[in-house]
Amino acid sequence: MKVTIGQINTTNGDIEGNVSKIIAAIEKAKADGSDLIVFPEITTHGYTSQDWFQDPDIIDHSLDPLEKILPATKGIAAVVGVIRRNFDNDGRRIYNSAAVISDGELLGFADKTLLPEYDVFDDPRWFEPYHGRSRHLYEIAGKKVGVVVCEDFWNDKTFWKDRLYDKDPTDEVIEMGAELVVSINASPYNKGKIKLRGDMVAHRAKTNRVPIVFVNLIGGNDGIIFDGASLIADEEGDIILQASAFEEFVETVELDCRKPDVRGITGGEISAIYDALVLGIRDYARKNNFKEVVLGLSGGIDSSLVAALACEAIGPENVLCVMMPSPFSSEGSIKDSEDLVRELGCKSRIEPISAAFDVLVDQLELRVPTKGGESLAAENIQSRLRGVILMAISNSEGRLLLSTGNKSELAVGYCTLYGDTNGGLAVLGDVLKTEVWEVARHFNDRADREVIPKKVIDKAPSAELAPNQLDQDSLPPYELMDPILKMYFEQKASPGEIIAAGHDPERVYWILNKVEHPANEFKRQQLPPTLIISKNAIGIGRRRPITHKYRRKENN
């Protein structure tokens, strides 16, 4: 039996465009002599359509895309992620489902049973779970095929130490005698996820002696990035087809080939973060009809990396870097920025803010900073003036404004609301400062030359809003702060667990109280969409009130 991975990049609501991609992939699979092609979860409408799944027009016409897909499947079978209406009087109005099609005819639907509501997921808000007493196997190319949807595959009692559900729909179809398991997914990227999926699929295939086809979505959708990395494992647990990560992939393999796919997934986690950010920028711009971007370039590492990533994502000819020196900008901030622009080959311009700053300081009778923190209002005016200039360029030239702040700063509120937080997309909002340095070095390694100047990577971080100002005057060193933030956000570790890992108690409580302070939550809730590369990231996966009285106390 030949099976094809149909790893395609869908756009929410672009039903015609999504269906065209589905049909094009089906035609390629036919040309390859495939018996079955498998597509990701909700391929027709886009998995991250959110409350569009509650719209009456969408619900009433949910299966209309199948009218075009069915005729295209003459001579082949296909599993396509769809939504379909729930005609019962109770429950949510639609099911998240897999349409199983063969030779132009609809064999049936496999509805999703387990509906996740953690991190970025909110399936119970939109979908009704499958309530049937028994599942179905489908006869395809002489094999009994069990079909499950995403979370229904992720509850293997022999793989997971802690399980979220009592049921395991995949076990159920295996116990019914499935000779092939098909799992369609919309599994977002976060650090470690690609390897985890591979281990999970290989383990289940080998343990149950059954081939598994695991197809995952690819593409950026607001801040959520799907990496693809679909795979097929044979009954020995060997990966016989491994799709590329972060790009579309339509290829075919013979299930009984007994040839492990030696391509695998290459590169480490920093390489994956790099690819995720590039894809996130490219798709957010493309899917929202932006051809060009603009960003403020300070000569620091964060804005330098965003400029480099943007050039990789949409081409240097479409990237505009704006330098906006103030009275406190160092000589190197402009020179280093010009060196980077020259290496990248992108566009640039200088828009000084000193005159406007002097006018506002005089008009508002503010104290001019002589050291960091002495006059926050005057410091923040500089950032806000830059935000005004960048938004004006964005408006006048139709450019997407990229925000450049990193996760370490945003977590503890070291940013200016309506200043450096302005933008249409926060590129590094889920990237810790220490990771920013690593990704920048990786960028240079990929280019095999020093695109981002070493002096930019090595220079001490500074907002340059006051004389001789350094981040470390206000914050712990990032090398000490980031491991605490990583445990707090990504592992949901308690203060006690973080301290037990060897971190200074006073520093831990200072950082966590900064993160959780209402003023900083207020800032974060007004951020642009943030590209997500970790679990429990700043953004839609983390929900905290602005107004609260919770405070961390030692020995609480």
**CATH class for the region spanning 2-261:** alpha beta
Q: Which residue has the tokens 């007493």?
A: 133
Q: Which two tokens stand for residue 103?
A: 């030779």
Say what the pLDDT of residue 134 is.
82
Q: Which two tokens stand for residue 287?
A: 């899917």
Q: Which of 21, 112, 486, 535 is catalytic?
A: 112
Q: Which residue has the tokens 């092939």?
A: 180
Whether 2-261 and 283-474+518-524 share one fold: the answer is no
Based on the residue annotation, tell me whether 112 is a catalytic residue of this protein: yes
CA 62 – CA 40 distance, rounded (Å): 17
Q: What is the 3-state secondary structure (H, E, C) of 461-504?
A: CCCCCCCCCCHHHCCCCHHHHHHHHHHHHHCCCCHHHHHHCCCC
Beta-sheet strand order (sheet of 180-185): 137-140, 143-149, 180-185, 212-216, 231-233, 239-242
Q: Contact at 8 Å (CB) between 112 and 97?
A: yes
Q: Which of 2, 21, 41, 433 is catalytic?
A: 41
Mean pLDDT by 10 residues, the chain (556 residues): 98 98 98 98 97 97 97 98 94 97 97 95 96 90 97 96 93 97 97 95 97 98 96 97 97 94 85 97 98 96 98 98 93 91 97 96 92 86 96 97 97 94 96 98 96 93 84 91 97 96 96 95 94 91 90 78
Quick one: CA dihedral 331, 336, 339, 345, positive or negative?
negative
Say what the pLDDT of residue 220 is.
97
Q: Which two tokens stand for residue 415?
A: 């940013």
Which of 526, 474, 518 is closest to 369 using CA atoms?
474
Say what the pLDDT of residue 262 is.
82
Q: Contact at 8 Å (CB) between 547 and 518?
A: yes
Measured in degrees and rounded to the nearest 5, phi and psi for residue 199 equal -65, -40
Which residues contact residue 342 at a Cβ distance below 8 angstroms, ignoring those fewer than 6 apart? none
Checking DSSP bridges between strand 319-323 and strand 293-296, what pairing results, if any? parallel
End-to-end Cα, the chain, rounded Å: 60
Q: Which of 2, 21, 128, 150 is catalytic?
A: 150
Burial class (CB in 10 A: 0-12, 13-18, 19+), 312: buried
Which of 420, 413, 347, 410 is closest to 389 using CA atoms?
420
Measured in degrees and rounded to the nearest 5, phi and psi for residue 245 equal -90, 145
Which residues contact residue 380 at a Cβ distance below 8 angstroms, ignoring those fewer than 6 apart? 416, 419, 465
Based on the residue annotation, tell me whether 150 is a catalytic residue of this protein: yes
Q: Which two tokens stand for residue 121?
A: 């997921």
Which of 44, 39, 26, 129 is closest to 83 using CA atoms?
44
Q: How far is CA 326 from the centre of its chain?
A: 34
Say what the pLDDT of residue 556 is.
53
246: alpha, beta or left? (left if phi > 0; alpha if psi -120 to 50): left
Say what the pLDDT of residue 539 is.
81
Q: Contact at 8 Å (CB) between 271 and 440?
A: no
Say what the pLDDT of residue 37 is.
98
Which CATH superfamily includes the segment(s) 283-474+518-524? HUPs (3.40.50.620)
Burial class (CB in 10 A: 0-12, 13-18, 19+), 57: exposed
Quick one: CA dihedral 112, 114, 255, 174, positive or negative?
negative
Q: How far is CA 533 from the centre of its chain?
A: 5
Say what the pLDDT of residue 469 is.
84
Say what the pLDDT of residue 259 is.
92
**Domain locations along the chain:** 2-261, 283-474+518-524
Measured in degrees and rounded to the nearest 5, phi and psi for residue 279 equal -65, -40
Q: Contact at 8 Å (CB) between 319 and 282?
A: no
Residue type, 252: T
